Amino acid sequence: MEQRTLGSTGMSVSRLGIGLYEMGMRKDSDAFSKSDTLLNLALDKGINLLDTAGCYGRSEEMIGRAVSHRRGEYSLATKAGHVTVDPYPPEPNEKAWSQETISTSIDRSLVRLQTDHLDLVQLHSPSLEILELGDAVTALVKAKEAGKTRFIGYSGDNEDAERAIELGVFDTLQTSFNLVDQSARGFLDDAVAANMGVIIKRPVANMRWAGRQGSDPGPEAYRERVDAIQAGGALPDDPGDPFYLALGFLFAHPQIDTAIVGTTNPDHLRSNVDLVEQGIEISPELVDELHDRFDRWAAGWRGTT
């Protein structure tokens, strides 16, 4: 699979990464064996960016059990900041966004992921107030200085993401961007100018655009937005495949390094990778029309953290 250098990190990442929220939240009795199959298949198919979080159920533990023996084949990106409650009870006196909680979360991630270092730790959608307070940022900087993570990043949307770029301390930005959530168009160039790697979450609007819905349906607003944009009538040069269209729109924006697509279905994973490997390209006229429809109807539509 084609790879891109993630900003100034020097990390080479596959254009398609895998998001592991859905996998981590599975509670069926064979969840771990299924995660073993899915994760090894992802690596075999050329995906080398695994995106998880301390609050994504058992996903970190699943990664550690399934592919820690293949650690040299992938980059690990996790997130910190929240107090986790399910399935792991919080430590006594844990407080969201405190330096202590973030430090504890990172140490816990290292154990669960069965690794001696993380490639990327991201603040997990903190508010603008938390960013300005600075304790959470300081905790990540200390973890980087201690060698627990190679790079630090921010995950979030809207004004908070813009402020994270302005701070000049983060190596990467992970933000929502898709056909019905285009607010990030206003600051993608700013992230690139700041030498940040750009990671996209929700690239197919949590599968709403592709006509599917996973265990994480995402914002309810996505369903309404899909209906509004599709109500505009036929799209010029529509490729006829909603997943192709969604990813084609995404990769038409050169600022984007990689897109995180979540799945628990091996067949979906195979088809997603095959599609990307074959090459995805939609016409400039179609991209312009999708921009135009969003701009026409998006009054009040903001990114959805």
Structure-token pair, residue 278: 């074959």
**By the 8 A CB rule, do 286 and 77 touch?**
no
The helix (H) or strand (E) run that includes residue 286 is helix 284-297
Nearest residue to 245 (alpha-carbon basis) of 211, 218, 199: 211
CA 119 to centroid of chain Cα atoms: 14
80-94, 120-134, 286-300 — most confident range: 120-134
Three-state secondary structure call for residue 151:
strand
Q: Tell me: the pLDDT tens digits for 163-214?
A: 999 999 999 999 999 998 999 999 999 999 999 999 999 998 755 555 555 4
pLDDT at 217: 47
**By the 8 A CB rule, do 248 and 280 touch?**
yes
**By the 8 A CB rule, do 209 and 290 touch?**
no
User: Averaged over 219-234, what is the pLDDT?
Assistant: 78
User: Averaged over 283-305, what is the pLDDT?
Assistant: 80
Res. 103: pLDDT tops 80: yes
pLDDT at 215: 45
Percent of the chain with pLDDT over 90: 74
pLDDT at 114: 98
- Between 27 and 52, the more confident residue is 52
d(CA 188, CA 184): 6
d(CA 79, CA 102): 9
Domain annotation for the chain: domains and CATH numbers:
3-297 (3.20.20.100)
Residues 6+ apart with CB under 8 A from 175: 155, 156, 157, 161, 184, 198, 199, 200, 201, 303
User: Averaged over 51-69, what is the pLDDT?
Assistant: 96
Structure-token pair, residue 21: 């929220």
Q: Residue 38: what are its φ and ψ, rounded to 5°?
A: -65, -45
Q: How confident is the model at residue 73 (pLDDT cuts 50, 70, 90)?
A: very high
